[in-house]
Structure 1
Amino acid sequence: MHIKTKFFGDIELSTEQLWHFPKGIPGFESERKFALLPIEENLMFQVLQSTNDSDIALIVANPYTLVEDYSFDIDDPTIELLDIKQEDDIFVLGVLSLKDPLETSTINLQAPIVFHTSKKVAKQMIINDNKFAVRHIIGSQPSLTKEEA
């Protein structure tokens, strides 16, 4: 599949990169297909790119690598929608808001994106727990580049 992207221009996608969001993403409910794209020089961040609209691209990262005590329970509607049977079926990413300097960037811990690996479906789940912020400052996290990996 060939798409236009916000950050990488025109690219060819493999089926492994495609994810279906049955209910879209809050704010982008009509967007149902996204690609998860690596950022060449940074293994910590990725781009969640709409396959239909090149302007819709979210920078995402694993919240567990950025926040030491992050945890939440997946709600029943998400478990049902994604057909989650066991914890090994999923991985979680959070949406970042990048700023300069990078240490002032934030991650949304109130709305993690839950991905079912084998079914290739995902959902952004809203958590109603004030323990974690919508704009949690990521601070001075180590960057992980290809040279360091």
Structure 2
Amino acid sequence: MNIHTKFHGTIEIKPEDMYTFENGLPGFPDEKQFVILPLEETTLYVLQSVKTSEVAFIITSPFEVFPDYNVKLSDEVLTALQIGVEEDVVVYAILTVKEPFNKTTVNLQAPVVINSKMKLAKQYITNDISFSMRQPLIPGQEAK
């Protein structure tokens, strides 16, 4: 099937490449199907809505940037995403891209958690205050 995307133009995707957010994303309850597309020559990806081309989020693996990052999933999330083994879990963090790029922040309090086997996903809002919603992506940069 072909979809229109915010950053990649019109592309062809396979149904097995789609992830289902049963409750949508916060602020986007009707957006339930997404694909993850790479941004070439970066460690960034696009979480792209299948339904609405303008609904797209820049994401990255928080573990690559913040080696001490840790997220403990609640029993509710484990059940909702049908997670049985840790190997099926993929975690991304949503970026707020700013100009200049070195002012970009990453939301570590609400990661996107994916069950890669079942193709289910959820943005999980943690209660862990040791990580910020506006953590500078580049260490040493002020988040403004």
Establish whether TM, by shorter chain, passes 0.5.
yes
- Cα deviation for residue 14 of structure 1 reads 2.3
Letter in 2 for 1:58: F
What stretches of structure 1 move > 2 A for 4+ residues in a row? 14-17, 100-103
Any residues of structure 2 matched to 1:32-47 within 5 Å, and which? 32-42=32-42, 44-47=43-46
The root-mean-square deviation of aligned C-alpha atoms, in Å, is 1.1
- Cα deviation for residue 100 of structure 1 reads 2.6
Structure 2 residue 28 is the aligned partner of structure 1 residue 31: no
Q: Which moved more, 1:128-137 or 1:93-102?
A: 93-102
SS at match of 2:22: coil
- Cα deviation for residue 16 of structure 1 reads 4.0
**Contiguous gaps of at least 5 residues in structure 2:** 140-144
Counterpart in 1 of 2:64? 65
Alignment size in residue pairs: 139
CA contact (8 A) 1:17 1:37 kept: no
Distance in 1, matches of 2:33 and 2:100, equals 31
Distance in 1, matches of 2:51 and 2:15, equals 15
- Cα deviation for residue 79 of structure 1 reads 0.4
Any residues of structure 2 matched to 1:1-149 within 5 Å, and which? 1-42=1-42, 44-139=43-138
Distance in 1, matches of 2:24 and 2:17, equals 17
CA offset digits 1:84-130 (Å, max 9, x no partner): 11111111000001123322211100100110011111000000111
SS at match of 1:112: strand
CA offset digits 1:62-95 (Å, max 9, x no partner): 0011112110210111100111111111110000
What TM-score do the two structures reach when normalised by structure 2?
A: 0.92
CA offset digits 1:124-145 (Å, max 9, x no partner): 00001110000000116xxxxx
CA offset digits 1:25-47 (Å, max 9, x no partner): 111111100011111222x1000
